[in-house]
Amino acid sequence: MSEQFVFRSRMPASADSVYRFHAGPQALTQLTPPWENATVYEQSGGIADLGSRVKIRLKIGPLSQTWVAEHTACEPGRMFRDTMVSGPFKKWEHTHLFEPDGADASWLEDRVDYEMPLGWLGKTFGGWYARKRLERMFAWRHATTARAVTGDALARAERVTEDQ
């Protein structure tokens, strides 16, 4: 049985700016919290290239596992979706939504539909732990995004001021 996790934050920049940040080639690396012990080691294409893939090496103690995600949907400036092809979960589908809230603000929403491995055993013994990690990770990702797009907005404002 699938679980759904949703994390939503108001961003201090337009939906298009937040989307562009996520579409950047280093975004996933920048959005990986330092405590996660995960390394992006291969990427083919970008978020708008359906079928493109990302490979991440996860280390948990002495063990490592490869997570392969494929980009399965994209509406530039509005949303994109990645789906786990192989990795630690039975199912993982992550939808990133960018909703305008005026000219200079937006809502960033991450929706994750996931299923723990090992059926009811995995859900019973690992479900609470997975949810806690998701909450911590997405709080960090949203704060990192807000800092990045605020810096981008400041850089644009400074360019406009210099041009005048």
Rg (CA), the chain: 17
Task: Decide: helix, strand or coil at residue 34.
Answer: helix
Q: What is the pLDDT of residues 31-65, one digit of tens each?
A: 999 988 899 999 898 899 999 999 999 887 788 88
DSSP alpha helix (H) spans, the chain: 15-23, 27-30, 119-163
User: When comparing pLDDT for 136 and 151, which is higher?
Assistant: 136
| Token pair listed for 42 | 């291969």
Domain ranges of the chain: 3-163
Q: pLDDT at residue 108 above 70?
A: yes
Task: Identify the pLDDT of residue 80.
Answer: 97
Q: pLDDT at residue 120 above 80?
A: no
Q: Which residues contact 145 (CB under 8 A, 6 or more apart)?
A: 9, 11, 18, 21, 22, 31, 108
Q: pLDDT at residue 23 above 50?
A: yes
Element (H, E) at 53: strand 53-60
Position of tokens 């893939």?
A: 53
Which whole number is the average pLDDT over 59-82?
92
CATH 3.40.50.300 fits 3-163, yes or no: no
Task: Identify the pLDDT of residue 131.
Answer: 79
Confidence of residue 138 (pLDDT cuts 50, 70, 90): very high
